[in-house]
Chains A and B, each alone.
Chain A
């Protein structure tokens, strides 16, 4: 068990980084609480894997310190840190049996053979691998292989955290769900810190207590799935979380109102008071936009272009004077014909200054 702290971590793959551009990871400062289940979410190339490799010790950061329970481990190699990592593609020792695969990390650490046997059987039991113990690892299906990779982390008694680098990429969809549930069970049973890298938001939302959003080498927001949905700290979070993402529209401010190209809408006066100066955008979830068939205050005119059914609700696309708006309409609610008005409820309309949320 350990609390993992990253102190001012920055990393560049170039020998002499000069500008910000050269950094794959820019000044990250964060704490991973002991026993938390975290998902690290971001688009490809945003530095997720770099961060993971710094925590596991495969990479030594260009700057900053990594602390496990307050102990500086920045320069320690992976085998000296009590951390396990599961990779995107199952990594197995092909010529070994499943048993030997699971025993490998223990035998390398010169654990006594009786102890090895009992640990391996224990872990195989949890992961439902017992029937395969005497089989060669190379002949197994992808999900069993990935379980073995995970098992190699779990056998070590001292493991404080397990890092997952998009571990379910090669798993069939119906097995993904099972494996994810297994992971949750293991998390509850062992109280390990889990950090799970993914670019699939559903996977992140269902797995983690806390989601960490990364963008272009920086951490944008850490929060529960609910917080990320309701109060995204950055327009990227608003757009990235939710399907479809937040509607984002550039605007200027006029007192308590946001002036768009196609009309003006009221804002929460408290928010408007804290707006300051900069470039503004408003953002609103498709769920919170309302459709009306008559004009009213805080509504902009538009024209319904399309409607996609999604079971309990449908996504209506409205062409307004500003841009296309996506609106989630519950099933059974009537949608105005061709022309309509889109209502922005002030409590749900978020204001962003220079892409960051005005709180």
Chain B
């Protein structure tokens, strides 16, 4: 049979290309377009080059928000990943108790974000909230609307309560996929409980934990709903994370700087995800001398 060669097969990806173009590429390019122009009004614009980027990179409020954001995401990972693994390890492997645990854990994931905000606003209110009032009655002053530290604690609690179950579910799935023979071999080799965790369970969970770390990092780095609903980024700027600052900028009609900021934001997320992925794939592989 004669070989029949041309590039017409490329037409087959045209529909996908069109959809992706309208859903992702065109909006992204619009942002790129804004980031290099000063929009004065409809039809009135001036090309400004990299000016907005320079502006943003030297903006001290942005630095402030970025530092807060990094601390927040770092704490989220440090709390949620170990806590999630810990809970998954203590869950029953089978039977109705296993199903019950899974359903209970999945509940926070099913609640819409604005409902979660409302729940926590009421829960932590210093005057009538179950948590807020209880803490105040213990003699500790707690007011997340006035005290920056309390606001942080509250947002962190919300985040951990809301998203640790996702880490648990992923870790649990990873644990259940380990064949029994591994535990049996470890018993015969006389391994301690810690050694079983360190050399069997943790390495076997590498895949799901990579996903958990990436998801939790991205999500927490883009956090908006919780601080917005709770304090709107306050008190002061205490919980003004990157996305809250971004929305403040763009609603102030500073579209150019906001666009430049968006692109920087996007690149930061991309960079960190890449670093995490590389690190998690590299740890414990490769030869030793």
Listed in ascending order, the chain B residues whose CB lies under 8 Å from chain A are 179, 181-182, 184-185, 187-192, 195, 199-200, 203-204, 284-289
- B184 lies within 8 A of A87 (CB): yes
Return the contact of B184 from the options A85, A96, A105, A138 (Cβ within 8 A): A85
Within the complex, the shortest CB–CB distance from B102 to chain A, in Å, comes to 25
- The answer to whether A134 touches B182, judged by C-beta atoms less than 8 angstroms apart, is no
Which A residues between 55 and 112 are near B, CB-CB below 8 angstroms? 56-58, 77-79, 83-85, 87-89, 91, 93-97, 104-105, 108-109
| A152: interface (CB < 8 Å) | yes
Task: Provide the residues of chain B in CB contact with A96, threshold 8 Å.
Answer: 199
Given A84-B188, A104-B195; 5 other pairs, CB 8 A cutoff: A58-B184, A58-B188, A108-B189, A136-B285, A152-B189
**Distance from A110 Cβ to chain B, minimum over Cβ atoms (Å):** 10
- Report the Cα distance A96→B200, complex, angstroms: 10
- Taking the nearest CB of chain A, how far is it from the CB of B172, in angstroms? 20
Contacts of B190 in A (CB 8 A): 79, 105, 108-109
Of the residues A83, A85, A95, A134, contact of B185 by C-beta under 8 Å: A85
Residues of chain B with a CB closer than 8 A to A91's CB: 181-182, 184-185
Choose one: A78, A89, A109; the contact of B187 (CB below 8 Å).
A78
Q: Contacts of A97 on B, CB cut-off 8 Å? A: 287-288
Q: Report if A108-B187 is in contact (Cβ < 8 Å); known contacts: A91-B181, A138-B285.
A: no
- CB-nearest residue of chain B relative to A110? B190
B288 touches A79 (CB 8 A): no
- A77 and B186 CA atoms in complex are apart in Å by 12
Do A108 and B195 touch (CB < 8 A)?
yes
Instruction: List, in ascending order, chain B residues with CB within 8 A of A83's CB.
Output: 188
Instruction: List residues of A whose CB falls within 8 A of some B CB.
Output: 53, 56-58, 77-79, 83-85, 87-89, 91, 93-97, 104-105, 108-109, 134-136, 138, 149, 152
B191 closest partner in A (C-beta): A108
Residues of B within 8 A of A56 (CB): 188
The 7 closest A-B pairs by CB, nearest first: A95-B284, A79-B190, A91-B185, A108-B190, A105-B189, A87-B181, A93-B199
A104 touches B191 (CB 8 A): yes
Picked from B179, B181, B188, B289, the residue with its CB within 8 Å of the CB of A78 is B188
Is A95 touching B189 in the complex (CB atoms < 8 A)? no
A149 vs B185: C-alpha distance when bound (angstroms): 9
**B204 CB contacts on chain A under 8 angstroms:** 94
**CA of A88 to CA of B191 in the docked complex: distance in angstroms?**
20
Instruction: Please tell me if the beta carbons of A79 and B189 are within 8 angstroms of each other in the complex.
Output: yes
- 26 A-B pairs with CB atoms under 8 Å apart are A56-B188, A57-B187, A77-B187, A78-B184, A79-B187, A79-B189, A79-B190, A85-B184, A89-B179, A91-B184, A91-B185, A93-B200, A94-B203, A94-B284, A95-B199, A97-B287, A104-B191, A104-B195, A104-B199, A105-B189, A105-B190, A108-B189, A134-B287, A134-B289, A149-B185, A152-B189
- Report the bound CA distance from A43 to B192 in whole Å: 35
Question: Whole-angstrom distance between the alpha carbons of A84 and B186 in the complex?
Answer: 11
Q: Tell me which residues across on chain A come within 8 A of B287, comparing CB atoms.
A: 97, 134-136
Whole-angstrom CA separation of A214 from B284 in the bound complex: 43
**Whole-angstrom distance between the Cβ of A231 and the nearest chain B Cβ:** 37
* Known contacts A78-B187, A79-B189, A85-B188; A95 and B285 CB within 8 A of each other: yes
Q: How far is the CA of A58 from the CA of B181 in the complex (A)?
A: 10
The interface residues of chain B lying within 8 Å CB-to-CB of A105 are: 188-190
Given A85-B184, A91-B181, A95-B203: A108 in contact with B192 (beta carbons within 8 A): yes
Q: Which residue of B lies closest to A155 (CB)?
A: B189
User: With the chains together, A97 CA to B199 CA distance in Å?
Assistant: 11
Which residue of chain B has its CB nearest to the CB of A165?
Answer: B181
Which residues of chain B are near A104, meaning CB under 8 Å? Answer: 189, 191, 195, 199
A57 CB → nearest B CB, Å: 8
Separation in Å of the B198 CB from the closest CB of chain A? 9
Residues from chain A with Cβ under 8 Å of B284 in the complex:
94-95, 136
Question: In the complex, what residues of B have CB within 8 A of residue A95's CB?
Answer: 199, 203, 284-285
Question: How far is the CB of B17 from the nearest CB of chain A, in Å?
Answer: 38
A135 to B285, CA, bound (A): 9
Q: How far apart are the CA atoms of A58 and B200 in the complex, in Å? A: 18
Q: Which residue of B lies closest to A104 (CB)?
A: B189
* Neighbouring A residues of B187 by C-beta, 8 Å: 57-58, 77-79
* Chain A residue, CB-CB nearest to B185: A91
Q: Which chain B residues border A89 with CB–CB below 8 Å?
A: 179, 181
A134 to B288, CA, bound (A): 6
Complex CA–CA separation, A88 to B203 (angstroms) = 21
Shortest B118–chain A CB gap in Å is: 45
Please indicate which of the listed interface residues B179, B185, B187, B192 has the most CB atoms of chain A within 10 Å of its own CB.
Answer: B185
A88 to B181, CA, bound (A): 9
- CB closest chain-A residue, reference B283: A95
| CA–CA, A58 and B90, complex, Å | 22
**Which chain B residue has the least Cβ–Cβ distance from A132?**
B287
Q: Which partner residue on chain B sits nearest A99 by CB separation?
A: B288
A276 to chain B, nearest CB (A): 46
Residues in chain B near residue A53, CB distance under 8 A: 184
Chain B residue nearest to A149 in the complex (CB)? B185
Minimum CB–CB distance for A196 against chain B, Å? 16
Residue of B nearest to A85 (CB): B188
Q: How far is the CB of B199 from chain A (nearest CB, A)?
A: 4
Chain B residues with CB under 8 A of A109: 190
In the complex with contacts A93-B200, A95-B199, A87-B285 CB distance below 8 A: no
Residues of A contacting B203 in the complex (Cβ-Cβ under 8 angstroms): 93-95
In the complex, A138 Cα to B204 Cα: how many Å? 12
Q: With A and B bound together, what is the CA distance between A69 and B184 in angstroms? A: 24
Alpha-carbon separation in the docked complex, A281 to B25 (Å): 80
